[in-house]
Structure 1
């Protein structure tokens, strides 16, 4: 894949700044914010950056490879695009843009149940290589219909979400009218008027919709009734009895996302799941919780050879990816970084963001003299024992 790199935006903070200038405030704050005082939002990234890595300069070094095999498929890099709901709110056709970029670069893209593109559309764009994150329906009938659509679209991996038993308390979303049920205010309309490019692109693309869920929604829902539909249709609270029928029905790889404890990891193994994603929903659910990097290290030490261990939340850059892999993750996912890229650069944003992350990760590995991503753990400095 030929990388399309824009030197005017050489890293993720530049993309974030540009995204903030290009999209309405309510959309940016939905993307950028966390819950309550946003303590865990900051803790996630801050504690990843406390990780220290050791270079070995005098080794017989043969060059690096970022290729990573996961669930029998070789990917070009050890990172993918995490699921994000309402992607089309932040930039029109964002789901399609990111899925296409992921496919072209041979990295995984995870489609959320509440994204703004359908299972079938993303399946076509990625030629059946995307993953799907299932937000658990209350009724088994809808659950089975969604799983069948994912099967028919030939998705290889189903991700079930465990870390949203209740909606996070997000003050900025409440002020901006993006709570459940959502509302559009005069304040939001004024913000749209100051972002004409976003407004024009949204007008062309059409109002964002939950495309995967559209067949199950009554026609003509206004925003208030849409919120009520979501509340009445889905329950994010998982338990063993809800997971068992999914494992029985789904024949592909099954991953549990939102794991932050050894206890839940053990249960995932007992249920026959293939992988976990250590995640706290990007700091959007529990402010008083741990950062993801802390439980990752303990989980990896105890369970690494029993289940595939991946991680998201707080990872923003190539160095963050390296630190997460060195700490025990076998693969990583990023969400906000990719959305900053698309909001900043539109159709080129996905490609450019992947190019940034590849370049940054390559530089770190070359500096460490680390030839492949599986060896990054050998460069981890154990700060607990160092003192």
Structure 2
């Protein structure tokens, strides 16, 4: 298979776990724990990955095989692989300039990049780096005026897909972030400062690119906010809680593809279809919101079986490798997204981290497809055996 971007990986880091270990040594503890952790006791964080890995695939070794292609059509665009970069908040805090590194790498590899409302580059900059191919994820604002203005900016930037977020009606209870001063309102303490000094490369890159800001929200924020005032602004600006009445005017406004992210049950999937949405992303926010909930793969299987013919069904949360992508596609997802894996990549390798991580995942997924004799990504369900 010929890809637009040459596949080339750094052989020192041939797995996402290798990148994770390197990232932990590269960035301050408070930033790593913000990226790496879940909520409460991390039960659902670990279930997400372990229950994906309960899925087994069946190889057909004596079949005639003409070769495998990862190319996947989604919303009228043919991507070079069936995975994309999930939205992550405060990316520039984790690694300076990381959303721009990832947006550029995604464009070069012809996979989707989703920009979060609460990350550290703007809609306009992401669109520039991706020639209008970046998706945008909207945290629902309290004021309709603000909602409308952000949507108009995404439209002007030619974002092909608007993703509306449903699974953050409240901030997740994350003990590490509370200890580290990264709850709302955030507090930078002496421990954090000392941790930053212990990571000189991270500190130098931060000086080079500047203190990270909520660039999407910058036009709406009063100037000179201290951290306490920032927390108050965020609380007042976003309700977080979606319902059908809030989605209807967005569907009316947005002429592009509209996706609901954070679907965790069949009832919400059916509502999304009724509201005329184009796709759903089954997700539990990477295990960062509800520790007592299901892993993402369980509702994905049920939703895909029941509604897969009526709406595009995608998934994130817990995927960490090419085999994980394969298992998820075999379970009924048409497309997948990963968040932490890409942030481990840029945190470990800086400006080459996005390219390396995408190349690594493509290499792993291609190997699985060739091994099981799967010619197209839509054929993965033919290879599912069972869940252990």
Q: TM-score, normalised by structure 1?
A: 0.99
Within-5 A mapping of 1:248-327: 248-327=252-331
Give yes or no for the alignment of 1:191 onto 2:195: yes
Q: Determine which of 180, 187, 199 is the counterpart of 1:176.
A: 180
Please give the alpha-carbon distance, in whole angstroms, between the structure 1 residues aligned to 2:301 and 2:94: 33
- Answer yes or no: is 1:61 the counterpart of 2:61: no
Task: List per-residue Cα deviations over 1:144-173 (Å, max 9, x = no partner).
Answer: 000000000000000000000000000000
Q: Which residue does 1:242 correspond to in 2?
A: 246
Gaps of 5+ in 1: none
Q: Is the contact between residue 92 and residue 208 of structure 1 (CA under 8 Å) also seen in structure 2?
A: yes
Distance 1:126 1:38 in 2: 34
Query: Is contact 2:54–2:387 with CA below 8 Å preserved after alignment?
Result: no
- How far is the alpha carbon of 1:4 from its aligned partner? 3.5
Match of 1:230 in 2: 234
Q: Is the contact between residue 165 and residue 261 of structure 2 (CA under 8 Å) also seen in structure 1?
A: yes
Contact 1:4 1:348 in 2 (8 A): no
What residue in structure 2 maps to residue 210 of structure 1?
A: 214
Alignment of 1:6-45 (within 5 A): 6-45=10-49
CA drift of 1:81 comes to: 0.1
1:5 deviation in Å?
1.4
> For residue 361 of structure 1, what is the aligned residue in structure 2?
365
Aligned-CA RMSD value: 0.7
Q: Structure 1 residue runs of 4+, over 6 Å off?
A: none
Structure 2: give runs of 5+ residues left out of the alignment: none
The question of 1:100 aligning with 2:104 is answered yes
Structure 1 Cα separation of the partners of residues 363 and 8 of structure 2:
12
CA displacement at 1:94 relative to structure 2: 0.3
Find out whether 1:335 has 2:339 as its counterpart: yes
Check conservation: 1:56, 1:369, Cα contact below 8 A. Answer: yes
Query: How many residues are treated as equivalent by the alignment?
Result: 384
CA distance in 1, matches of 2:224, 2:267: 44
In 1, distance between residues paired with 2:212 and 2:123? 15
Deviation at 1:2, TM superposition (A): 2.1
- Rounded to whole Å, the distance in 2 between the matches of 1:156 and 1:113 is 16
Match of 2:168 among 139, 164, 169: 164
Render the CA deviation track for 1:259-283: whole Å, top value 9, x for unaligned. 0100000000000000000000000
